[in-house]
Structure 1
Amino acid sequence: MSAQPLSEEQVTALAYDAAAAPSLHNAQPWRFRYFHGSRTFHVRADPGRVLPHTDPDLRALHIGCGAALLNLRVAALHGGWEPDTRLLPDPGDRDLLASVRMTGRRDGESDLGALYEAIRARHTSRYPFEEREIPEAVRTALVDAARAEGASLAFPTGWHLQEVLELAQEAEVRNLGDRGHDEELERWTHGGVPFSDTAAEGVPEYAFGPRKAGGRAPMRDFAAGRTVAGREAAEFEHHPHLALLGTERDRPEDWLRAGQAMERVLLLATLEGLSSSFAGQAVEWAELRWPLRDPVTGTGHVQMVLRLGYGPKGPATPRRPVREVLDIEPGTPGA
């Protein structure tokens, strides 16, 4: 079918869906620019939303923007558009992470477009999950989802799972005693100041989840040891289900692929009735990230640790208004 120009309403809706992606501390490190002349979106890094201490090499920024890119692709396919995606299309512009050109209309729903309903339903859940196995068929589907985006997904067991849990615990101890990490966490949780109705970024106290009183699930303490009024303690899973998402190489384009794979896995998990959160503390420390890799081959690079299971859905966290993250241009890129 011949392609027609996207209306401003359609462009805004696509950016709105893209921005529902998760990111480190909900910093939302992305901007979108749409060019009417070529029906092309640019996904750009927002330098003002970097966490220089926690994410000095911008790996987490790329992963978050990759997740937003995946949402954009899903929303485009659901809307009947065929997205042609290029990663890092301009070596001279480091902030330009991807371009997505709507090349034409398509009939029927694709496997990727079918994930659309999960974009708004997916929320990070920092609550205890049930001690319940994830069916093998679901695990296989999640592995296939990661592979479709050029990444791997593995569910560690036995001594490897124990190693991952110990590394996460070590990272959490380091984080709680690290001044730079504490300062960045305070910024993105607003230092414990209650969120107003206009707060549009960071992790609000209502999304911290309960304080961990027991269990082995690796949970980040967003309160950083301070008391949060009304926050209760809870027992978490003793047999948590963790998944290691990795790539063969460790370059910016691999981080973008990892972000797309992560979001594809999370959206599918949501449709399968699973809740999810992140257990990525260890990947934030270079010397702890390396031992997370495949213990059999010793190859690959772990980009994120996911916690999956059956349990309460997490609350929605704030997002910046679309007008703050989207620019619409009349021409074509570079024109």
Structure 2
Amino acid sequence: MNSAPLTPKQRERILRAATSAPSKHNTQPWWFRWDGDDLEVHVDTNRTLELGDPACREAHIACGAAVFAARLGYASLGIGTETELLPDKEQPLFVARVRVTDAAADPRFETLYWSLPSRRTNRAPFKPTPVPTLVLEYLRDAARDEGTWLRIVEREPAYEHLLTLIREATGLEEEHLRTERARWIDPPDAVHRLDGVPGRSLGPLPENPTGAVRDLAVGHDVDGRGSIEFEQRPTIGVLETRDDDAAAWMTAGQALMRVLVTGTRYGVAASFANQPLENPDLRDEVASDAKHYGTAQMVLRLGMGVEVPPTPRRPLTEVLRLSQRA
């Protein structure tokens, strides 16, 4: 057990790990508070998407990803933790507490921690080399270890059906959703922003659209973006949970982060093709017919990645609020 209180440097390490998590359009919809050495995680409603994420499902997933990354930060210090989801019924936006325990840190987590700085949402073309079958199994294991299921969609007609749903959802997207998103995508004040997706992180436009590559800046010209040929048949995974409530969304977020950093360790990159999940009329069609799983939470485009620039992160002073106690 770590009997001494966390030092400021150790707290910074944990918080930097937590804030490395992905979020929709890099809105970073979280804030944190220390309760002794335990870390509270809250949804920041000032940074959620009223139109694009009205139920805050994806904001919860982002906070769940931050929870898992914080767990890695603790583990890198040799500190074991347990996670309490939705710990206060009176505060529904208080979504998790990462609690220090007497248990030893999971040794696998320290290894994963060192992959955090290299993890990126990768909107560039992937290498022609397929993701090795064994690595795909590692990704499935990562999802299972967090109580979810990663369904790799490979066979026809399921593969083409999913691509069709992504294309259909893209075509049905309404203008007000694009307007809301535009506040976060290559904004005019991007040079001064520490959130959102700058132009350099959007990736090129595909010369051979398959549907699995999402253009976040559709209808908006981005200087220097250009176009290039993408992989013909990307690997697509669907992250699924048994239930579809706030606790399930938090669980999905932790699983997502575990899948992503596991993939990073083996050179696998990911971007997201969640368009059909954002459309209530199409979301159910993405899910599997599995007996115990089937609620789709994320659609991932996976492949062997090339290096891409990071998206910015806000300073810790902006995401940390007053501790409850010393």
TM over 0.5: yes
Local SS of the residue matching 1:112 = helix
Give 1:78's aligned residue.
76
Deviations 1:251-274 (A, max 9, x none): 110000000000100000000111
Letter in 1 for 2:214: R
- The answer on whether the counterparts of 1:217 and 1:237 sit within 8 Å (CA) in structure 2 is no
Deviation at 1:8, TM superposition (A): 2.0
Residues 124 and 315 in structure 1, CA contact (< 8 A), matched pair in contact too = no
Alignment partner of 1:188: what SS? coil
Aligned to 2:307: 313
Supply the distance in 2 between the matched residues of 1:268 and 1:187 (Cα, whole angstroms): 31
- After superposition, what is the alpha-carbon deviation per residue over 1:81-125, rounded to whole angstroms, capped at 9, x for unaligned? 111210000011011000112224737x61123200111110111
Residue of structure 1 in register with 2:136 after alignment: 139
* Counterpart position of 1:110: 107
- Asked whether the equivalents of residues 149 and 293 of structure 2 are also in contact (C-alpha less than 8 Å), the reply is no
Residues 1:206 and 2:200 aligned together: yes
Which residue pairs with 1:263 in the alignment?
257
User: Which ranges in structure 2 are unaligned for 5 or more consecutive residues?
Assistant: none
Instruction: Tell me, in whole angstroms, the C-alpha distance in 2 between the residues paired with 1:83 and 1:167.
Output: 39
Q: Aligned pair in 2 of structure 1 residues 84, 298: CA closer, same or farther (>3 Å)?
A: closer
CA distance in 2, matches of 1:2, 1:114: 19
What is the distance in 2 between the residues matched to 1:81 and 1:169?
45
Whether contact under 8 Å (1:63, 1:256) holds in the other structure is yes
- 1:62 is matched with 60
1:245–1:258 contact (8 Å) kept in structure 2? yes
CA distance in 2 between partners of 1:329 and 1:225 (Å):
44
CA RMSD, 1 decimal = 1.7
Counterpart residue type for residue 4 of structure 1:
A
Query: What does 1:85-234 correspond to in 2, within 5 Å?
Result: 85-104=83-102, 106=104, 110-157=107-154, 158-175=156-173, 178-189=174-185, 191=187, 193=188, 195-196=190-191, 198-234=192-228
Question: Do residues 25 (structure 1) and 21 (structure 2) align?
Answer: no
Matched, 1:43 2:36: no
Contact map agreement 2:186 2:222 (CA 8 A) in 1: no
Q: Give the drift of 1:242.
A: 0.5
**2:290, 2:79 → 1: CA distance?**
42
User: How many angstroms does 1:190 deviate by?
Assistant: 5.0
Percent identity of equivalent pairs: 36
In 2, Cα distance between equivalents of 1:281 and 1:118: 28
Scaled by the length of structure 1, the TM-score of the pair is 0.92
> How far apart, CA to CA, are the structure 2 residues paired with 1:2 and 1:320?
29
Shift of 1:295: 4.4
Measured in 2, the distance between the counterparts of 1:230 and 1:329 equals 44
Across the two proteins, how many residue pairs are aligned to each other?
A: 325
1:21-78 deviation per Cα after TM superposition (whole angstroms, max 9, x unaligned): 0000000000010022xx2110011010110111111100000000000000011011
Report the AA paired with residue 195 of structure 1: A
Checking the alignment, whether the CA contact within 8 Å between 2:164 and 2:211 is kept in structure 1 is no
- Partner-residue secondary structure (3-state), 1:155: strand
What CA distance in whole angstroms lies between the structure 1 residues aligned with 2:322 and 2:75? 20
Give 3-state SS (helix, strand or coil) of 1:111's partner: helix
Secondary structure of 2:325's partner?
coil
SS in 1 for 2:74: helix
- Whether the aligned pair in 2 keeps the contact of 1:130 and 1:309 (CA below 8 Å) is yes
Unaligned runs of 5+ in 1: none
In 2, Cα distance between equivalents of 1:3 and 1:296: 45
Answer yes or no: is the 8 Å Cα contact 1:245–1:262 preserved in 2.
yes
What TM-score comes out, normalization by structure 2 length? 0.95
Q: CA deviation digits over 1:117-158, x for unaligned, max 9?
A: 111110111111123322211111110100010100011121
Q: Distance in 2 between matches of 1:274 and 1:98?
A: 28
Equivalent pair of 2:166/2:211 in contact (CA under 8 Å): no
Partner of 2:245: 251
Aligned partners of 1:261 and 1:73: how far apart in 2? 12
| Residues 113 and 182 of structure 1: CA distance in aligned 2, closer, same or farther (over 3 Å) | same
